[in-house]
Structure 1
């Protein structure tokens, strides 16, 4: 049986999820198709269910490797789990080709590309941090304004109407501690 798995990181990526589902259906993943919209660092319940469902002789199909694993270690863990169960992994878009773990060459290529993808992501994060630090030094990066601080005028108004800090926090959807902190700083 072909078991399809599709994932996007956010609910906003509807087109990406639809494209993955379409590609999986085109290769025959119709009986069992697992999908979720969750960050790879979050709890991936559908992935866990799909891996649990897989049986000997099945083929686990994903469109791209980055939709399956969060790191090389995670990828190797998933491949090991699948191999232990007698399940092959098939990646549809593998740099323009298709790859599976049925052969030693396929396992080698998937492992190498997984390591390269993790390396690329880590380099991107380093460059991002360096860019933010440079922007901070140059005074160009301020960060986002604290959410509660932006709501201070509304906090003042609600406090003036006699609402308690808990009521203000609920109404403005900020923490009660933020209400206490900001309103007490005003009185000081």
Structure 2
């Protein structure tokens, strides 16, 4: 049986989510586990998929970065799958496909996982260096404070009797931001 795993980091990534689903279904996946969650958060659907797979099954993902957050994470997932007698198939692996059923597939997966982690780490280092330089030059302003711009609406909704969760959902901001901004506003 082929079991697919779909993941995007945010709920707003609808097109990417749907594209992954379509590709996995077209590949012949009998069951899909899907979630919209950051790779650094708890991935309940991935855990469910790893629990669900049985000997002889294949876990299928569209890309490696949809599955693992680091080489260590990848190798841990692959080791778990191997203990269960399950192979891993990555559909878009630099223009080709890789399957851990073969020794070559396992070797390529490990190598590319390490390269992907190196690439991500290098990108983050360059990004941090660029931000530090921009700050030193006085050009860095950071992200626009989206929640703070909605404070007047938050006040109105609170006055109308809505709770923090309802306000957050209506204004598309985090609940913690609602609590923090309303508390700051009350103490001002």
TM-score (norm 1): 0.81
Corresponding residue number in structure 2 for 1:178: 184
Q: Does residue 48 of structure 1 match 2:54?
A: no
Gaps of 5+ in 1: 184-188
The structural deviation recorded for 1:180 is 5.3
User: What secondary structure is seen at the aligned counterpart in 2 of 1:133?
Assistant: helix
Aligned to 1:113: 112
Question: Hey, what does 1:122 align to over in structure 2?
Answer: 121
2: CA distance, partners of 1:146 / 1:4: 37
Q: Distance in 1 between matches of 2:105 and 2:147?
A: 52
Q: In the alignment, what sits opposite 1:25?
A: 25
Distance 1:118 1:129 in 2: 17
- 2:11 aligned partner: 11
Partner SS for 1:118: helix
Would the aligned equivalents of 1:148 and 1:178 in 2 still touch at CA under 8 Å? no
The equivalences for 1:97-112 within 5 A come to 97-112=96-111
TM-aligned CA distance change 1:13 to 1:148, over 3 Å: closer
Provide TM-score, normalisation by structure 2: 0.81
Q: Deviations over 1:39-79 (max 9, x none)?
A: 10111110000000000000111111110000000000000
Q: Which whole-Å deviations, capped at 9, do the CAs of 1:76-103 have from their partners, x for residues lacking one?
A: 0000000000000011111111111111
Larger Rg: 1
C-alpha spacing 1:151/1:102, structure 2 compared with 1 (3 Å): closer
Q: CA deviation at 1:142?
A: 2.1
Q: Write the distance in 2 (CA, Å) between the matches of 1:57 and 1:101.
A: 12
Q: Which runs of 4+ in 1 moved over 3 A?
A: 144-152, 169-172
- Alpha carbons 1:8, 1:38 under 8 Å: kept: yes
CA distance in structure 2 between the partners assigned to 1:7 and 1:18 by the alignment: 10
* 136-145 or 81-90: bigger deviation: 136-145
Instruction: Tell me: CA distance 1:147–1:12, structure 2 relative to 1, closer, same or farther (3 Å).
Output: closer
